Amino acid sequence: MGGDFLDKLEIRRLLEAVSSGETSVDDAVLRLKMAPFEDLDFAKVDHHRALRQGAAEVIYGSGKTPEQISKIAAAMLAHGQETILITRLSADAASEISVLAPFSYHEIGSVGIVGALPKPDGSGKIVVATGGTSDMPVAEEAALCAEALGNEVVRLYDVGVSGLHRLTAHLEDIMSARIIIAIAGMEGALASVIGGLADCPVIAVPTSVGYGAAFEGLAALLSMLNSCASGVSVVNIDNGFGAGYLASMINHLGGDEN
């Protein structure tokens, strides 16, 4: 265990101290937030991240062996985490993962999910829109991340600016969204178009889709950063996870304070 990791007995004593008035609620919450991690030698699992940040730790699958991923997931399950998200997970690694819970693999987004998806408890809907079908791997990473964090997601795929009528056919979804994630490669124009239609925050995700001068997503990134539409923010190239996580944070604003 790492540092001042609180075991069950220590947590019980802390709660008893709150009950007796020896410790304030704020001091107890602060101590719980500062409790560090479980040391697995190859990984230090942050069991208190949900308490500090509102969402539990996510496993980044790329570069980890199936055995390492399985042990990290097992440690999370043992500490009560009901839904575990694994991003950038290859199909080969997914076939070798062994965990003591239902496990599903979503190949298009390279995402693994341990446990069941939670019931949506966000304030509204998150719309995930792509310029083209080739952007779907990034979009599915974003959508599945948002769903794993308790959000209702509406998918609008292949609605890019080369056929604008495809996007305008979904104006009701766009104008009723709480947050929109706009995902596009090439010149990345989709984010600006959606930003000019919607009255909610738009999270733009440039993808590495495109021919040579697209520079593996750099052209779309610069286009999105220079958008003239107000309310558009940008995450890194192909970072569907980052967009889904940020969208979930926005969608859960206004709830109970942590």
CATH code, domain carrying 168: 3.40.50.1970
Of residues 98 and 171, which shows the higher confidence score?
171
Question: How far apart are alpha carbons 60 and 64 in whole angstroms?
Answer: 8
3-state secondary structure of 241: helix
Kindly state whether residues 133 and 244 are assigned to the same domain: yes
Q: Do 106 and 144 reside in the same domain of the chain?
A: no
* Residues forming a β-bridge with 50: none
In a domain, 1, yes or no: no
The pLDDT score that the predictor gives to residue 245 is: 96
Strands 44-45, 38-39: pairing kind:
antiparallel
Q: Which two tokens stand for residue 70?
A: 């399985």
pLDDT, tens digit, for every residue of 125-135? 999 999 999 99
**How far is it, in rounded angstroms, from Cα 82 to Cα 241?**
19
Residue ending a domain, choose from 114, 140, 169: 114
Is 29 a member of any domain?
A: yes
Whether residue 194 sits in one domain with residue 146:
yes
Q: Residue 40: is its pLDDT beyond 70? A: yes
Task: Please give the sequence-ordered ranges of beta strands (E in DSSP) within 63-178, or none if there are none.
Answer: 84-87, 103-106, 111-114, 125-130, 152-156
Of 116 and 193, the structure prediction assigns the larger pLDDT to 193
89 has pLDDT over 80: yes
- Asked if the model's pLDDT at residue 75 lies above 50, the reply is yes
Q: How many domains does the chain have?
A: 2
Give the per-residue pLDDT at 3. 40
In a domain, 3, yes or no: no
Q: Are residues 139 and 232 in the same domain?
A: yes
Residues spanned by the domain of 241 = 125-251
**Whether residue 140 sits in one domain with residue 199:** yes
Q: What is the pLDDT of residue 31?
A: 67
In a domain, 225, yes or no: yes
Average pLDDT, the chain: 88
What is the three-class DSSP state of 204?
strand
Question: What single-letter DSSP state applies at residue 79?
Answer: T
Read off the pTM.
0.83
Tell me which of 69, 88, 114 is where a domain ends. 114
Q: If we measure between CA atoms, which residue out of 25, 70, 77 comes closest to residue 56?
A: 77
Q: How confident is the model at residue 2 (pLDDT cuts 50, 70, 90)?
A: very low
pLDDT higher than 70, residue 48: no
Residues 90 and 163 grouped into a single domain? no
97 and 190 assigned to the same domain: no
Return the minimum-mean-pLDDT range out of 54-58, 61-65, 180-184: 54-58
Query: pLDDT grade, residue 254 (50/70/90)?
Result: confident
Sheet architecture: strand order including 152-156: 152-156, 125-130, 179-184, 202-206, 232-234
Q: 247 and 131 in one domain?
A: yes
Q: Clarify whether residues 69 and 146 are in a common domain.
A: no
Given CA atoms 245, 250, 253, 258 in this order, what sign does their dihedral have?
positive
Residue 88, pLDDT above cutoff 50: yes
In this structure, the answer to whether residues 76 and 164 fall within a common structural domain is no
Last residue of a domain, one of 114, 137, 153: 114
Using 50, 70 and 90 to split pLDDT, how confident is the model at 4?
A: very low
Judge if 79 and 144 occupy the same domain: no
pLDDT (mean) for 8-17: 74
Domain-embedded: residue 9:
no
Average pLDDT over residues 139-145: 97
User: Is 67 domain-assigned?
Assistant: yes
pLDDT tens readout for residues 196-225? 999 999 999 999 999 999 999 999 999 999
In a domain, 258, yes or no: no
On whether both 78 and 158 belong to a single domain, the answer is no
Does the structure show a pLDDT above 50 at 246?
yes
